[in-house]
Amino acid sequence: IMSFDESINDLPTNVVSFRDGSSMTLGPGTEFDDFRVLEKLGRGGLGEVWKARDLTGNRDVALKFVPRDIQFHEEEMERVRETFQTIHALHHQHICPTLALRRHPDFGSYLMMAFVDGVPLSFYLRQVKKVPLIRALEILRPVAEALDYAHSRNVIHRDIKPGNVMLVFGKNPDGSMNFDQLRDVQLIDFGLASEFRQSMTRVSQVRMSTSGTRPYMSPEQFQGKGQDARTDQYSLGTLAYELLCGKLPFQAEDDFVLFNCIMNVQPEPLKDQPDWVNTALLQAMAKDRTVRFSSCVEFLTALEGKEAEKVKTARLEEEKLQQERRALEEERKRLEAMRQEEKNHPQDPRVPKQGDSRKNTQWDEIEKKRQQNEKPASFPKSHEKWDKKSNDFPKRRKRLLGPLFRAILSFGGIGFLLAKLFGKETGRGIERLLENGLGDKLDDVFDHDLFDKFK
């Protein structure tokens, strides 16, 4: 969320109270206005940058404090307010929003910006050294689109460099960044560092670079001439060169040598890149800005060249993957909520859960079978034959059971026969019915299972 420009050593390093007699010092845990300070992010073109919790909005933000020397000069603060109003009006998906400019009696004026949970491109480059063309285009196109949007509103960034490009990556299961999953690119520090450098120069009378960071500065910036959208394009071309090559087109510790290279020397072509890439880079970094592309997106289109279709396919695949990730995350949350509900409110496992169509179907089938089993057995009409599959048999045959058993009883030994057929207890019960003259009742108590055994 901040510009990691470690070369600025003459800006304030601590934010302390402005009021005499106050011992307030900003640090983790400090609460002021609507914020609780969480941690120091570092130093940028504006001095210290802190991560804080917005207690009102319930979100994390970045707080950038205006250099102390500027705050005592109303004329310079007016310029800061004008710059803020300009960048506050920018609304683009790849421009980090600048939300507010406030003043605290102890800590002075500060800018509240959205917090980007990512890493600067400078950090990423230190890990990977250089990137393939496809990945470079994935990073550069959002920056180009953001710049063209700002240029259409007459806003120039003037400090395009790796420290001002934030990358948001996906996370591995252990919480570490997954560099294969680039989720978002955010451009930060729109014109802010340049405005503060100019103000510091006027206030301290110590000349500072009025705009830009030296290795990324255009010839017109070095000369102090008027700047326009093509100035940002030159810096974007330098950034593209660094991504693809792993080093800057011009590097020199001596400012005069660096100035001479930027003004008069052509960048060395990249031998491992196709011709159209080198052609696009040279045009974007042309010494004469009238030769440069008409827009940053036009430069990116030329840089894509024959890779344009691959880039488009990769972009569509990434969008599809992100949609799938969102769908999986929503399903995971739904299942987690269901598990939590089951844990909090356990219920009979035989009862289907609401919305579970599969279990409802199983339950309905079980209930249907239960109801069928409770119905009295159905028998065919007396003239129909016994169906072995359905166990149905004619009533007429069933009505013959009583007389048949009475006939057997007259011959004696019925108890032994009944015990063999139906078991000792059941056989004894039937024998009593027959002895008491209740043989007709056998037709009412016999079911088809008994008839099966008798048969």
Between CA 332 and CA 378 the distance in angstroms is: 51
* Cβ–Cβ < 8 Å for 281, 267: yes
Q: Report the b/e string of 144-182 with b at 16+ CB within 10 A.
A: bbbbbbbbeeebbbbbbbbbbbbbebeeeeeeebebeeb
Between CA 128 and CA 135 the distance in angstroms is: 11
Q: What's the pLDDT at 230?
A: 97
The contacts of residue 118 (CB under 8 Å, 6+ apart) are 166, 167, 168, 169, 184, 186
Tokens standing for residue 424: 């000792």
Between CA 80 and CA 70 the distance in angstroms is: 9
Q: What's the pLDDT at 208?
A: 44
Q: What's the pLDDT at 198?
A: 59
Residue ranges of the chain with per-residue pLDDT less than 70? 1-24, 44-46, 191-212, 307-312, 314-316, 318-319, 347-425, 427, 430-431, 433-455
Q: Write the pLDDT tens digit of every residue in 270-299.
A: 999 999 999 999 999 999 999 999 999 999
Q: What's the pLDDT at 11?
A: 34
Q: Write the pLDDT tens digit of every residue in 242-273.
A: 999 999 999 988 989 999 999 999 999 999 99
* Cβ–Cβ < 8 Å for 21, 58: no
Between CA 152 and CA 200 the distance in angstroms is: 29
Q: How far is CA 217 from CA 253, 322, 398, in A?
A: 15, 36, 109
Q: What's the pLDDT at 418?
A: 61
Q: What's the pLDDT at 396?
A: 47
Q: What's the pLDDT at 12?
A: 37
Cα dihedral 265→266→268→271 (10° resolution): -170
Ordered structural domains, the chain, with CATH? 1-116+192-204 (3.30.200.20), 120-187+213-330 (1.10.510.10), 395-454 (no CATH)
273 φ/ψ sector (left φ>0, alpha ψ -120 to 50, else beta): beta
| pTM (2 d.p.) | 0.64
Between CA 210 and CA 432 the distance in angstroms is: 120
